[in-house]
């Protein structure tokens, strides 16, 4: 009798949950292993007195991938939300990305105006620092980007790849103040935990278990496919050395009798005298709650030990180490192994891309079976 189709997914975040859901729909028996005591990974949202907050930072679903949007909308109800970010420069609250029409309120406007008039036709992509300076001029760069980057990444901007700026640093003159321009944007009405748990419903879930490559001989049979969504330096027990990660720590404060505490969901703080990088008020995402008393404001502090962000250094050292780990993954012969998601691919991707990678990993397994 032919053995039933089965597979293993390492990690119960958004990517792993998507892969598990898709594989289960294709008739696979799926076992998911998650090192935390809850599912959801970094996207998991929480609630207090009916107000949502996000212990791992702000997550806004936005995409141009219609198939991905249809998939996530099938598992939970999304409400429309156009994400806005502001940046505090002394007493000024400016839109982020910066809008040219708002800049004259700055005391440094005369210098800014001169610098904007002499910008190069194309930004200098040597590194993140050169890119931003050539995009907005030295004055705006020092006011809005340099110190924020030092806090966020713990590195000088010149040590980071210019790729960090892609879709994140702009100078706009069109008046559009939403952070994203994708046609599909929203926030899950019941939070991201609801989405992930719905995706995982057909899977067998094991919590509190960190899986490494050495565990596969015991947990899987030869030839059984495995989707890896955990960081590869963890999966291989640091055999080639640790990858560099940047983590954040959030302090959440519930404020009773206040409906909304700040001017947008996210307020960036570029001042080095402020120890946190930004404040987040998730309640902005659910308009139906705006008149409800009580809100939660989170301060995001950089430099925690968590693996939230891969560090794209301008020298490419971290990317080279990731490539070495990926070579080890490809060389493993007992089971077909596939890396998917931000952690496993060591990439700074958005949530829709995380879902897409989960779908692609599942499709690869189905086609190869």
What digits encode the pLDDT tens for the residues 187-207? Answer: 999 999 999 999 999 999 999
CA distance 105 to 83: 23
pLDDT band (50, 70, 90) for residue 72: very high
Q: Whats the size of the chain, residue-wise?
A: 369
Q: What is the pLDDT of residue 297?
A: 98
pLDDT band (50, 70, 90) for residue 3: low
Q: Within 13 Å of residue 164, how many CA atoms lie on the same side as its CB? A: 26
- Whether the CB-CB separation of 193 and 70 falls below 8 Å is answered with no
Q: What is the pLDDT of residue 226?
A: 98
pTM higher than the cut 0.85: yes
CA 92 to chain centroid, in Å, comes to 27
Alpha helices (H) in the chain, listed in sequence order:
14-25, 66-75, 109-117, 128-136, 138-140, 147-153, 192-199, 216-219, 232-235, 317-331, 341-345, 351-368
Share of residues in the chain with pLDDT > 70 (%): 99
Q: Residue 245, SS3?
A: strand
Residues 6+ apart with CB under 8 A from 232: 243, 322, 325, 326, 328, 329, 339, 344, 346
Q: What is the pLDDT of residue 168?
A: 85
Structural domains in the chain, CATH included, are 6-45+191-244+311-368 (3.40.50.720), 46-84+178-189+249-306 (no CATH), 107-171 (no CATH)
241-245 average pLDDT score: 97
Taking only the tens place, the pLDDT of each residue in 12-65 is 999 999 999 999 999 999 999 999 999 999 999 999 999 999 999 999 999 999
Taking only the tens place, the pLDDT of each residue in 128-172 is 999 999 999 999 999 999 999 999 999 999 999 999 998 789 999
* Nearest partner of 203 among 26, 3, 2, judged by Cα: 26
Q: Is the pLDDT of residue 1 over 60?
A: no
Q: What is the pLDDT of residue 350?
A: 95
Q: Residue 222, SS3?
A: coil
CA distance 46 to 50: 9
What integer best gives the mean pLDDT of the chain?
A: 96
Q: Is the pLDDT of residue 214 over 80?
A: yes
Q: What is the pLDDT of residue 2?
A: 63
């Amino acid at each position: 009798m032919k053995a039933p189709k089965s597979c293993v997914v390492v990690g119960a975040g958004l990517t792993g949950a998507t892969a598990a859901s898709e594989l289960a729909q294709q008739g696979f028996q799926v076992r998911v292993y998650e090192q935390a005591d809850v599912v959801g990974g970094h996207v998991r949202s929480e609630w207090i007195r009916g107000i949502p907050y996000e212990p791992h930072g702000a997550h806004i679903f936005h995409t141009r991938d219609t198939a991905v949007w249809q998939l996530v909308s099938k598992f939970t109800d999304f409400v429309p939300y156009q994400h806005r970010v502001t940046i505090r420069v002394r007493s000024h609250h400016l839109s982020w990305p910066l809008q040219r029409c708002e800049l004259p309120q700055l005391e440094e406007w005369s210098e800014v105006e001169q610098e904007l008039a002499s910008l190069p036709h194309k930004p200098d992509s040597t590194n993140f620092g050169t890119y931003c300076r050539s995009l907005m001029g030295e004055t705006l760069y020092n006011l809005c980007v340099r110190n924020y980057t030092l806090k966020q990444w713990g590195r000088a901007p010149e040590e980071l790849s210019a790729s960090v700026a892609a879709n994140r640093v702009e100078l706009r003159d069109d008046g559009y103040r939403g952070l994203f321009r994708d046609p599909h944007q929203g926030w899950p009405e019941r939070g991201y935990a609801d989405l992930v748990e719905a995706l995982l419903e057909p899977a067998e879930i094991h919590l509190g278990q960190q899986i490494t490559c050495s565990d596969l001989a015991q947990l899987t049979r030869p030839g059984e496919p495995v989707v890896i969504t955990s960081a590869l330096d963890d999966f291989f027990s640091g055999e080639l050395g640790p990858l560099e990660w940047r983590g954040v720590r959030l302090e959440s404060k519930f404020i009773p009798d206040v409906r909304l505490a700040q001017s947008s969901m996210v307020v960036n703080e570029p001042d080095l005298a402020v120890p946190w990088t930004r404040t987040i008020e998730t309640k902005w995402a659910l308009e139906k709650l705006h008149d409800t008393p009580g809100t939660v404001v989170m301060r995001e502090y950089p430099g925690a030990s968590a693996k939230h962000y891969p560090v794209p250094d301008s020298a490419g050292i971290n990317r080279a180490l990731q490539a070495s780990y990926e070579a080890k993954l490809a060389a493993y012969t007992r089971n077909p192994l596939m890396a998917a998601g931000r952690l496993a691919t060591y990439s700074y991707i958005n949530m829709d891309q995380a879902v897409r990678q989960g779908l692609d990993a599942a499709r690869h397994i189905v086609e190869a079976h």
